Amino acid sequence: MAHTYKHISIVIPAFNPDYKLIDMIEELSAEDFQAIIIVNDGSGEAYDPIFAVVRKYPTCTVLTHTINQGKGKALKTAFSYYSENYPDGTGVITADADGQHTPSDIKKVAAELAEQPSKLILGVRDFSTEDMPLRSRFGNVLTKGVVKAASGMKITDTQTGLRGISKGFAEQLLNVSGDRYEFEMKMILACKTYHREIKEVTIDTIYIDNNESSHFNPVIDSIKIYYVFLRFLFSSLASFVVDVGLFALFSTLLKALMPMGFILLATVLARVLSSLFNYFLNRNIVFRSYAYTKHTLTKYYTLAVIQMGASAGGVYILYHSIGAHEVWIKIGVDSFLFLLSFYIQRSWVFKQGTAYVVKEVKDH
């Protein structure tokens, strides 16, 4: 099926690679791939002979970072080069340089990409085997939880470097933040933003020297992945504090003037001001930039109005049932609504707006 790959290229980010990279290139060069793009991500001078060898293959191009910039940046460098130089391309297959991805599995993912170019193709490993290194098992469990909580997507292998990416999606991914391993996680989450389906292809599970060559740190790199969600949590909590503070202020000022209606008015005033505060935090800090601004703003305030009514109604009913402690009642009601709002904003309000700028690109 050599003809299957004639519009598909291979992308390999490489940092301090060994002879296994040469073996991989030698075998892949015998196939009918459009091109093989290797990114030397700031490897030391001792590795120059390896890159010199792979440069000799006619279909192989080596791009160089003078200093190590991270796997995400290396992938973006390759995506940009591919977009500019192969306008008729279908897409790319990303593979690691350490020998964990066999040429047969690379071809398997390439064949799937040729059949379904609009999807992100993931070459997934079997994590149930007993010889799976602990750091890989732990890292995958952790990042699977992040993906599930953030998007609702259930992914078998979130850390796999073997992926089939259409040319259009590769160009969109140039707008996704992250220069190191967190970029691969954000690539999966970007499927939600750009309405891309994910197709999983089972591949061999290969670990060399207990995966010691991997530069992925499951704790540090997972913290980087969590960062965008921590920002969202901070924004929500900050707005919650502002809302409660304003409610306490307004209820104190209004209680003597209108003893029967001060809770409703104080809730409305506090929610209007705190929602403006929250919206600008989400737009400028949490999500930073996104498409469909007016559409998102409309959904945001639709939710805000419904939540405000639920807050006012809940506090009003409980206050007149208990007869006191309106601030503590407010905290309890809005704590529940906060959790509900987090889910709704994640899955509906900002479904099309994330930390990425949407760029309309058609797949070839």
How is 48-108 classified by DSSP, letter by letter?
Answer: HHHHHHHHTSTTEEEEEESS---HHHHHHHHHHHHHHH-TT--EEEE--TTS-S-HHHHHH
For residue 351, the SS3 value is: coil
Distance CA 251, CA 253 (A): 5
At residue 162, the pLDDT reads 95
Q: Counting beta carbons within 10 angstroms of the beta carbon of residue 309, is it exposed (0 to 12), middle (13 to 18) or buried (19 or more)?
A: middle
Q: Which of 114, 124, 101 is nearest to 1 (CA)?
A: 114
Q: Which two tokens stand for residue 336?
A: 């529940």
pLDDT at 347 over 90: no
CA distance 318 to 242: 22
Q: What is the pLDDT of residue 199?
A: 95
Residue in the block written with tokens 């440069």: 55
Phi, psi of 184 (to 5 degrees): -65, -35
Instruction: Give whole-number Cα distances, 178 to 4, 228, 231, 308, 333, in Å.
Output: 32, 11, 15, 36, 37
7, containing H or E segment: none
| Lowest-confidence region among 2-11, 156-165, 225-234 | 225-234
How many other CB atoms are there within 10 angstroms of residue 255's CB atom? 13
- Residue type, position 163, single letter: R
Average pLDDT, the chain: 82
The tens digit of pLDDT for each residue in 120-162 reads: 999 998 766 666 555 556 666 776 776 776 667 888 888 899 9
The pLDDT of residue 363: 47
For the segment 157-184, what is each residue's pLDDT rounded down to a tens digit?
A: 888 999 999 999 999 999 888 888 788 8
Strand partners, 10: 36, 93
Q: Has residue 291 got a pLDDT over 70?
A: no
